[in-house]
Amino acid sequence: MQEAEPARVTVTDLACRRGDRMLFARLSLALGAGEAVQVAGHNGIGKSSLLRIVAGLAPAYAGSVSVEGAIGLLDERPALDPALPLGKALAFWALLDGDAGTDHLRRLGLAALLDVPVRYLSTGQKKRAALARLLGQKAQVWLLDEPLNGLDSHAAELTEAIVAEHCASGGIAVIASHQPFRLAGMRVLPLPEYAA
């Protein structure tokens, strides 16, 4: 069996425009296996837009993005059917992702919630469920949009530890957050207000 190529993300002279407003321009970034970057800046500056462009879900106004490796996106929409119990909602994705592991459910404190409909979960529980789904994807490139929102201090520390483990195993993490995110060796990329 042939080994997968190492993960890589390359962003070259990227620009993002929303309506008449340019959010950012001339943005370049290169990440290799094991590397992480936190995209920082105030609300509305283009952090989430950058992640969606890298994920291939939104067009760039200019520039290019190249990604080697499978992409997993964690954002404010957990992609879990709100009408289903959590266990069934996660099982749907496990069938697609080929992962039926339950170790991460226990670690994330979700094992006792599998019969609870997703719509009744708290914000933090939904965020941890989305992280469980991300772990099941086994994607090499993680795009994390405000991953600590809604989490208590214990869950935030656990999330930081899981991202550190992902990078230590050769994964890449691009973290869009206005909150501090503790991860050794992570670069910070501030998105400045665009000036023409």
| CATH number for the domain that contains residue 50 | 3.40.50.300
In a domain, 69, yes or no: yes
Least confident interval from 5-9, 49-53, 75-79, 110-114: 75-79
Mean local confidence (pLDDT), 1-10: 76
Rounded CA separation 14/81 (Å)? 34
* Token representation of residue 156: 């935030």
Residue with tokens 């195993």: 169
Specify burial of residue 68 (Cβ count, 10 A radius: 0-12, 13-18, 19+). Answer: middle
In a domain, 117, yes or no: yes
In a domain, 26, yes or no: yes
What's the whole-number average pLDDT of the chain?
91
Q: Residue 134: is its pLDDT beyond 80?
A: yes
Q: Residue 2: is its pLDDT beyond 60?
A: no
Mean local confidence (pLDDT), 56-82: 93
pLDDT in tens, 137-169: 989 999 999 999 999 999 999 999 999 999 999
In a domain, 2, yes or no: no
What pLDDT was estimated at residue 102? 66
In a domain, 154, yes or no: yes
When divided into structural domains, the chain yields a total of 1
- Top pLDDT among 45 and 172 is at 172
Per DSSP, helices labelled H in 28-122 are 47-54, 86-97, 103-107
DSSP-derived pairing of the beta strands 8-18 and 62-68:
antiparallel
164 residue type, one letter:
A
In a domain, 50, yes or no: yes
Q: Residue 99: is its pLDDT beyond 90?
A: no
Domain housing 20: 8-190
What pLDDT was estimated at residue 78? 83
Rounded CA separation 120/86 (Å)? 10
DSSP-derived pairing of the beta strands 36-40 and 71-74:
unpaired
In a domain, 47, yes or no: yes
DSSP-derived pairing of the beta strands 172-176 and 36-40:
parallel
In a domain, 15, yes or no: yes
* Token representation of residue 89: 């909602």
Rounded CA separation 185/196 (Å)? 32
